[in-house]
Amino acid sequence: MRFPRLGAVLWLACCWPSLAAETVKILVQSSPLAGSQFYAVAEVWPQIRVGDRLTLVREPDNRHDRRAVRIEWRGRQVGYVPRAENRAVARALDDGEKLEARVSKLRDDPDPWRRVEFEVFLTL
């Protein structure tokens, strides 16, 4: 994953004393949760909250999508990064980048594509 201003952000984080103690997070993407209707979202719906941490798990051997990134909440699979939006996240994970994902929106909506949204951050 390449970010044109990443060098400037790194320089600020290293050279500006007040920023050096802070963790810098860059928003990589915001997406709906794909496939939630096939996984544990219905079971965990009463417990899941906005801000909850999600785990991103690369699935390079996934027979449907070689760039698949599974999403887990507290060890339970809840869906995937959408296929049309998983290229950057898959590449970053493959490159060993430190990514963090969080639940950003929850809606009680019959359309599974609108129920859960998440954000992915690059942590520096």
Q: What is the CATH number of the domain that holds 56?
A: 3.30.70.2330
DSSP label at residue 37 = G
Question: Which residue type, as a one-letter code, is found at position 32?
Answer: P
Residue 35 lies in a domain: yes
pTM above threshold 0.75: yes
pLDDT in tens, 41-64: 889 999 999 999 999 999 999 999
Q: 45 is in which domain, residue-wise?
A: 23-123
pLDDT band at 106 (very low <50, low <70, confident <90, very high): very high
Is the pLDDT at 34 greater than 60, yes or no?
A: yes
Considering the domain boundaries, does residue 5 fall inside one? no
For residue 13, pLDDT over 60 is answered with no
16 located within any domain: no
Is the per-residue pLDDT at 107 higher than 80? yes
- Return the pLDDT at 1: 46
| Structural domain count, the chain | 1
Phi-psi region of 35 (alpha: psi -120 to 50; beta: other; left: phi over 0): left
What is the rounded distance in angstroms from the CA atom of residue 30 to the CA atom of residue 62? Answer: 23
On whether residue 110 sits in a domain, the answer given is yes
Say if 8 falls within a structural domain.
Answer: no
